[in-house]
């Protein structure tokens, strides 16, 4: 894939907000997006041997490697403007702790942020970023 692809939970308000944040800060037009529930998302999960029914983590596919949870987060900051790269300092926290925090947020995301009845529909300006 030419662009890193982010697979996200299309009905999660927090996830949709994160996608909108990334679109605003993706100055070099690097990322492409697909909802985990979409046919494209399902095909990519299948291609990479991931559970097609697990929507508790966003997935980053970058240079044909798959990243999930905190590893995906840190990998995507490499593609953002320099000041977002400073978040890499939190990599000093052991992965099992970072992923436990990630899992707690993922488990409670609907309760804390709400959910939609359907996946987000990109605006005309955003459509080129969705696969």
pLDDT surpasses 70 at 1: no
- Pairing type for strands 32-35 and 65-68 reads unpaired
Tokens coding 49: 């041997």
- Looking at residues 91-119, what average pLDDT do you find? 90
Give pLDDT tens digits for 48-103.
Answer: 998 888 777 789 999 999 999 999 999 999 888 888 889 889 999 999 999 999 99
Local structure of 126: helix, strand or coil: coil
Q: How far apart are CA 131 and CA 120, in angstroms?
A: 13
**pLDDT tens-digit series, residues 10-48:** 888 899 889 999 998 888 899 999 999 999 999 999 999
The two tokens of residue 63 are 């240079």
CA angle (24 as vertex; 57, 78 as ends), nearest 5: 60
67, 7 in Cβ contact below 8 A? no
Q: What is the pLDDT of residue 79?
A: 87
């Amino acid at each position: 894939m030419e662009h890193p692809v982010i697979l996200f939970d299309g009905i999660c308000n927090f996830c949709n907000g994160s996608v909108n944040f990334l679109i605003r800060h993706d100055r070099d037009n690097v990322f492409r997006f697909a909802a985990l529930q979409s046919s494209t998302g399902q095909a990519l999960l299948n291609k990479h041997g991931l559970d097609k029914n697990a929507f508790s983590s966003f997935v980053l596919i970058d240079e044909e490697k798959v990243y999930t949870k905190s590893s995906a987060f840190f990998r995507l900051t490499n593609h953002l403007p320099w000041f977002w790269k400073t978040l890499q300092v939190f990599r000093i926290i052991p992965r099992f702790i970072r992923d436990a925090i990630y899992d707690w947020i993922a488990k409670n995301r609907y309760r804390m942020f709400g959910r939609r009845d359907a996946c987000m529909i990109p605006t005309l300006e955003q459509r080129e970023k969705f696969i």
